[in-house]
Chains A and B, each alone.
Chain A
Amino acid sequence: MLIDLLALAVGAGFIGAISGLGGGVFIVPALVIAAHMPMKVAVGASLISVVATSAGASVAFVRDGWTNLKVAMVLECATVTGAVIGAYLAGVVPAVVLELLFAAMMLQSAYFTVTKRGDDILTKGDPLAERLELSGEVPDLSGNLVHYEVVKVPQGGALMVVAGLMSGLLGIGSGALKVMAMDYIMHLPLKVSSATSNFMIGVTAGAGALVFLARGDVATTIAAPVAIGVTAGALAGSRVLPHLKVESLRTVFVIILLLIAAEMGWRALTGI
């Protein structure tokens, strides 16, 4: 049992890291479908493991300057609000609703993976972003620093509340939603959006995890090996990532996400 759980978690962490979607997206269905855990147990264990993977990956991203710390701090106000409400509701929302929502989030992640686009860097930010000093610099392909500005903070924040809500309800980092908010709406460069999203996920999942832990809704014997396994898998994934042609794996990720969405949707609708 322990070895099976560790293996599942290492696999979920590994795929989560190389797909850029995070371990939660894969560990929740792995626990529900393969380990026959109830949705609530899977969500609690996943939230805690997501805190660990976020911290592990953020060490390098923050040190190397990819994370926009001020954007993270501003948007965390929105995600933490959503996450606390979501985690509180997770205790009362029926499992069937959670499974359907999970399937919907998988479809959103698949859509995001297919429609990822290039950077659209702005040289003029809006007044609120300027007042909050959210602009930053990012190296281009030749290593020269490119200055970028940020726009539409309130709109990005509104989507972050939804991302936090989904995170607290479903035990995932909602990385795909967060990156979409920063990349599509606020015009941050994609790599900065990914690193900043990863950094914020720690607080979002942490807020949800605290609700679950304080309520006694975490199965420690499940959450502990999952946290260790997902962290180890994510670490291995991030080491392998530079040597992989991730673009060619995109179709595989989309197929996996669609299969998970179908399986979770089917379970919810048939009550299996």
Chain B
Amino acid sequence: MSKQDEDRILREWTPILLRSILIAAMVLLGAGLVLTYTFAPDYYVERYQAAQHGHLIGKEKFGLLLDRVRQGNPHAVLTIGLFVLTLVPLARVAFCFILFIRERDYTYVALTAYVLAGLIVGGLLGSVG
């Protein structure tokens, strides 16, 4: 694969990847807000006021969240929507990482691996911190 091919693939596929995940996240967030406003308006007001006082729900188990999404729980749908949104950069860097491995461009394999590791460490630091 030439440098031009690599550049073309990056320029063609990166926007598709970004747009697809962004739309998926926006649909989930929109659905979560409609669910909240329709079925649990009091819950929205309660959480809004709690946030104004700095009271947050805190850490939640991912498996439990997915179960609640299946039950149509508005809070769980919103949380998963936010997680999907943060996948945008992760997926984009992972895509570049795989492309550079195929291209055997080891300098950029190392650079994208570092960025990927940074993103993963961010998630891990948050979950233990």
Residues of A within 8 A of B (CB): 1-2, 35-38, 40-41, 48, 51-52, 54-56, 58-60, 62-63, 65, 69-70, 73-74, 76-77, 80-81, 83-84, 87-88, 91, 131-133, 202-203, 205-225, 227-228, 231
Contacts and interface: CB of A to CB of B under 8 A. Distances in A.
A41 B108 CA distance: 36
Contacts of A48: 82, 85-86
B32 A224 contact: yes
A213 B86 contact: yes
A210 B119 contact: yes
A55 B78 contact: no
Nearest to B105: A133
Interface string B1-24: 001000100111011001101100
B86 A69 contact: no
Given A87-B122, A133-B3, A55 B18 contact: yes
A84 B18 contact: no
A271 to B, nearest CB: 15
Contacts of A62: 10-11, 14-15, 18
Contacts of B72: none
B88 A202 contact: yes
Interface string B88-124: 1110110010000000000110011011001101111
Nearest to A35: B52
Given A214-B124, A222-B48, A55 B22 contact: yes
